[in-house]
Structure 1
Amino acid sequence: MIRGLRQDMSGSAAAEMALILPLLLMLVLGTLEAGNLMWSQHKVTKAVRDGARYAARQNIALLNCTTKDATVESKIKLLTRTGQLASTTATPKIVGWTDAAVTVTVACNATYSAGIYTTLAGGAPVVTVAASPNYRSLLGQLGLFSVGGKLRAEAKAPVMGI
């Protein structure tokens, strides 16, 4: 009887699958989570660059070392979060991304004091757009477990709008 059980291979495929399945699932789900993380980080990085590019083209009178117009700042934040300027109800590029996670700062760079910056006392205003939205885990959405964290990106550009 023992000899017969030893030679019987009818359940070996099921046993091998039971051993391999957890590793296979971890590999597939880990790959999906890593892809989602990289895609989300790419969206935040591109959004911050777009926001800095838009801020660089604003009027120097509205966005410089001494003045930061609130309307311009809110437009920069809206463009960074949603990619749009017209609608405040537009959906953000990352789920749950709010204006509070976007910062707009302006600093003077005295080394650039020629050309259009000659009339400015502190030199060229350089705008920095930074964002740190919460990362929403793909596995957390599936209810398996949540991988928390923040995505971070920053872009700088000299304000040169006239």
Structure 2
Amino acid sequence: MIRRIRQLLRDRRGVASVEMALMTPVVFALMFTCFEGGYYLWTEHKVIKGVRQGARYAARLPFTSYNCASTAPTGTTDIPLDNIKNVVRTGLPSGLAYPKVKGWTNSDITITVSCDSSTTTGLYKGVTGGAPRVMVSTVVTYPAILGLLGFDTGNVKVRAQAQAAVAGV
């Protein structure tokens, strides 16, 4: 009996199979962590770029689109606020494209305007209230890959904001 146990302990056949069986869960965990981390960074990049693009678009609108007495663009009929939000979300003023991030809606985007009344020279000479600055911000629910596997990822958010001085081009 002892001889049989010693033979069994010296036998190295099947060691690779056992090692593979032990390491497979660790490898899959690392793999999914890398995929999820990369997807989060890609999603964050798209949200940041979208907000920056929307702020730049809003900054090129005419001065008449902004009222320094309020905290929001006036939303004139020639330049509706939805165009700015569509540029942030889809990259097109018409919004006739898929959103850059799944589940991103116009209601997730906030546009505010602040005015620097101390700046009344140069480009802003003659602009009532001073230099308007537009701030575009958003909070998007992250569409996690692990959410498809049943994990609760509803509280994971991607936030971004960008500010641009209105040039009135």
Q: Do Structure 1 and Structure 2 share a fold, with TM-score over 0.5?
A: yes
Moved over 4 A (4+): none
Counterparts of 1:11-160 in structure 2, within 5 Å, are: 11-66=14-69, 68-69=74-75, 71-86=79-94, 88-141=95-148, 143-148=149-154, 149-160=156-167
Contact 2:51 2:136 in 1 (8 A): yes
Distance 1:44 1:32 in 2: 18
Q: TM-score, normalised by structure 1?
A: 0.91
Contact 2:63 2:127 in 1 (8 A): no
Q: CA deviation at 1:69?
A: 1.2
Q: TM-score, normalised by structure 2?
A: 0.87
Q: Let me know the Cα RMSD of the aligned residues.
A: 1.6
Letter in 2 for 1:63: Y
Stretches of structure 2 lacking an aligned partner (at least 5 in a row): none
Stretches of structure 1 lacking an aligned partner (at least 5 in a row): none
Distance 1:39 1:111 in 2: 39
Q: CA deviation at 1:89?
A: 4.0
CA displacement 1:69-125 (0-9 Å, x = unmatched): 154311000110001123x44210000000011011111112321123222332100
> How many residues in Structure 1 have an aligned counterpart in Structure 2?
160
Mean CA deviation greater in 6-15 or 110-119: 110-119
Task: Work out which of the two has the higher radius of gyration on C-alpha atoms and give 1 or 2.
Answer: 2
